[in-house]
Amino acid sequence: MKQKSVLIIGAGLAGIAAAAALARRGLHVTILEKNAHPGGRCDHFSREGHTFDTGPTLLIMPHVYEDEFAALGASFRERLDLQRVDPTYHLVFDNGSRLNLTSDLKSMEDQLEQIEPDSFDGFLRYMEESGQHYNQAMRHLVDRDFRHPGDFFNLRNLPLLFSVRPLLKHYQHVGAFFDEPRLKAAFTFQDMYMGLSPFEAPATFSMMPYTEMVHGVWYPKGGLYQVVEAVPAIAREAGVEFAFGCPVERIDVTDHHVGGVTLKDGQRIQADAVLANADLPYVYNELLPPEKTAQKLLNKRYSCSVLSFFWGVDKVYPQLAPHTLFLSDNYRENFDAVAHKMVVPENPCLYVHAPSRLDPAMAPAGQDTLTAIVPIGHMIDGQEPDWRALMHQARQAIFKRLEALGIRDLEQHIKFETCFTPLSWRRRYNLVKGATHGLCHNLTQLGYLRPGNRHARYHNLYFVGASTRPGTGMPTAMISARLTSQRLIEDLG
Ligand SMILES: Cc1cc2nc3c(=O)[nH]c(=O)nc-3n(C[C@H](O)[C@H](O)[C@H](O)COP(=O)(O)OP(=O)(O)OC[C@H]3O[C@@H](n4cnc5c(N)ncnc54)[C@H](O)[C@@H]3O)c2cc1C
């Protein structure tokens, strides 16, 4: 019998993991990637001995990677050299106070009680409840292949309305455990990683601080890009073919089927199925014939974006931990500012990553590799902001916040700078509106309510990745890959 073929558009983590799963089941799989190397948003670069992860910097939910690697016949622990990062984050507040989030409960008790008396009890209650959120949400919302509305809207799922609290706002709900605004911020800022505001995110997302505390935040030697190095290796072992520098121009369709793709250089490639890993709203709007859904997707809610600065620095700043977060007293204003406007918030919350604390090889001896990330609104059609002015504003905000740690001379010690703006995210990876996490994860865009993994009309066209189900994040990308590849295999028979 002729071997069935699948074309995958995009070598992001979800595309590669899906490719490996499909090839292991005997399909002929080719990945077409516009860029020169795999990984998509999970990217990196090196310069003058400094190595930067330009996308993810936090490996969370290690057990999900373990399971997904095992499903691909590989051992996660054997392929990566992992260390746990504890304390995970060093939080710095506007008034100079600090909180190091750690799995050491005695240290947590001492620190929390100093900030708010009796708050350790609130912390333990919060962790207990968020553990339930984690377990329930992973089982019923994340690791689920919703094929029909009835899979989601049914009586069995009704208890979820109470058990994972999707109807309560996260920030409001955290008030049941803490009064002190600094602690409310400390246990909700993780929503930012989903591109969400805690003032809008469902309380379900307390699952994020839970998993970071309990399952840990980890770091692979060599940085997060090592995960990307590992997954294509598994895919190649399974027989997947990669074509880099190969932008797809359009998906070729007939009435209810796709027949293959046409590349930018005009070459046509046929296949029995196409799986799109490129950002889903981009695929509907740029690669498929015009249809109403495409416009509807553009009107959905998008995550915010970020301005990322990558600095090679000629001295070491030991005051900076691996993951330092500066949380602002203007917590709400921060999120409101970036929800609908292309602005940098005043006094922004911001994140600084110093990878050589975890792996000295990430910077030359006696020097530092620093990444600083400031949230910014996603791009708005028809508006061309003054990027230089926004970058200047964000850079100055970072320098100002670093003064709280006694760092006053960073500007003089930067050897080189690379900056990613929303425009970079759009150009490099075709992310619609430059939204770093794609479609956002508010209540009406969660679970089954996110765009599905198979096209409603073209039944041999599938989607994996951040803007489809289950959603953003590296572990989630691998789950998306497994669920969708299973469905594709069933459909192709
Ligand atoms: C700044 C930032 C920080 C993050 N931090 C974390 C973190 O700490 N931990 C975590 O777990 N997650 C994090 N994430 C989220 C995580 O990176 C993403 O959810 C995940 O990598 C998405 O993978 P994907 O496969 O869905 O898509 P992508 O990575 O977007 O891959 C899609 C691929 O399709 C390619 N493509 C697009 N158009 C075409 C075309 N026409 N032809 C051919 N190829 C095309 C793109 O070039 C890209 O390679 C972060 C993301 C960002 C941006």
> What span, in angstroms and rounded, lies between the C-alpha atoms of 441 and 118?
33
For residue 247, cis peptide bond before it (omega within 30 degrees of 0): no
User: What is the residue with the minimal CA distance to atom 33 of ligand 1?
Assistant: 10
Asked whether 8 lines ligand 1 (CB < 6 A), one says: no
Atom 16 (ligand 1) nearest CA: 473
pLDDT at position 340? 79
Structure tokens at 355: 């990878």
What is the Cα gyration radius of the chain?
22
CA dihedral 31, 43, 103, 94 (to 10 degrees): -140
Phi, psi of 340 (to 5 degrees): -125, -5
Is ligand 1 within 6 A of the CB of residue 11? yes
- State the pLDDT at residue 229: 96
- At a CB cut-off of 8 Å and minimum separation 6, what does 362 contact? 50, 51, 223, 355, 356, 369
Tell me which residue has its CA closest to atom 27 in ligand 1: 12
Most ligand 1 atoms within 8 A of CB, residue of 16, 33, 34, 41 to mutate: 41
40 CA distance to ligand 1 centroid (A)?
Answer: 4
Q: Give the model's pLDDT for residue 160.
A: 82
Distance, in Å, from the CA atom of 406 to the CA atom of 399, rounded to the nearest integer, reads 11
Cβ of 472 closer than 6 Å to ligand 1, yes or no, is yes
Atom of ligand 1 nearest to the CA of 286: 41
Q: Is 159 exposed, middle or buried (0-12, 13-18, 19+ CB in 10 A)?
A: exposed
pLDDT of residue 32: 98
What distance in angstroms lies between residue 412's CA and the mean position of ligand 1's atoms? 33
- Nearest residue to 466 via CA among 290, 303, 240: 303
Closest alpha carbon to 248 in 260, 234, 256, 239: 260
Whether 420 and 54 have beta carbons less than 8 Å apart is answered as: yes
Strand partners, 89: 101
**Of 56, 65, 4, 6, nearest to 31 (Cα)?**
6
- Is the C-beta atom of 352 inside 6 A of ligand 1? no
| Neighbouring-strand partners of residue 253 | 258
SS3 assignment, position 202: strand
Cα–Cα distance between 337 and 241 in angstroms, integer? 44
* Look-up of token digits 């905000």: 397
Q: How far is Cα of residue 349 from the mean position of the Cα atoms in its chain? A: 18
- Measured in Å, residue 55 CA sits from the centre of ligand 1 at 8
Is any ligand 1 atom within 6 A of the Cβ of residue 277? yes
Q: Which atom of ligand 1 is nearest to the CA of 58?
A: 8
Residue 369: CB within 6 Å of ligand 1? no
**Residue owning the nearest CA to atom 34 of ligand 1:** 10
436 close to ligand 1 (CB < 6 Angstrom)? yes
Q: What are phi and psi of 270, to 5 degrees?
A: -95, 155
Indicate which atom in ligand 1 lies nearest the CA of residue 472.
19
Atom of ligand 1 lying closest to residue 32 CA? 43
Identify the H or E element spanning 111. Answer: helix 105-115
Nearest to 11 by CA among 348, 240, 170: 240
Q: Quote the ligand 1 centre to 438 CA distance (angstroms).
A: 9
pLDDT, position 376: 94
CB of 209 sitting under 6 A from ligand 1? no
Kindly give the distance from the C-alpha atom of residue 477 to the centroid of ligand 1, in angstroms, as a whole number.
9
The pTM score is 0.96
List the chain pLDDT tens, one digit each, 493 residues.
Answer: 689 999 999 999 999 999 999 999 999 999 999 999 999 999 999 999 999 999 999 999 999 999 999 999 999 999 999 999 999 999 999 999 999 999 999 999 999 999 999 999 999 999 999 999 999 999 988 998 888 888 888 888 888 887 888 889 999 999 999 999 999 999 999 998 887 899 999 999 999 999 999 999 999 999 999 999 999 999 999 999 999 999 999 999 998 999 999 999 999 999 999 999 999 999 999 999 999 999 999 999 999 999 999 999 999 999 999 999 999 999 999 999 888 788 888 899 999 999 999 999 999 999 999 999 999 999 998 888 999 999 999 999 999 999 999 999 999 999 999 999 999 999 999 999 999 999 998 888 988 899 999 999 999 999 999 999 999 999 999 999 999 999 999 999 8
**Rounded to the nearest whole angstrom, what is the distance from the C-alpha of residue 39 to the centroid of ligand 1?**
7
How far apart, in whole angstroms, are the C-alpha atoms of residue 146 and residue 144? 6
Protein residue with its CA nearest to atom 38 in ligand 1: 278
The predicted pLDDT at position 359 comes to 98
**Residue 47 pLDDT:** 98
Among protein residues, the one whose CA lies closest to atom 26 of ligand 1? 465
* Nearest of 11, 22, 50, 82 to residue 238 by alpha carbon: 22
| Contact present, 464 and 15 (Cβ < 8 Å) | yes
413 C-alpha to ligand 1 centroid (Å): 31
Are 248 and 263 contacting, i.e. CB atoms less than 8 angstroms apart? yes
Cβ of residue 54 lying under 6 Å from some atom of ligand 1? no
Rounded to the nearest angstrom, the distance between the alpha carbon of 153 and the centre of ligand 1 is 30
User: Containing H/E element for 95?
Assistant: none
Q: Is the shortest distance between the CB of 19 and ligand 1 below 6 Å?
A: no
Query: pLDDT value at position 16?
Result: 98
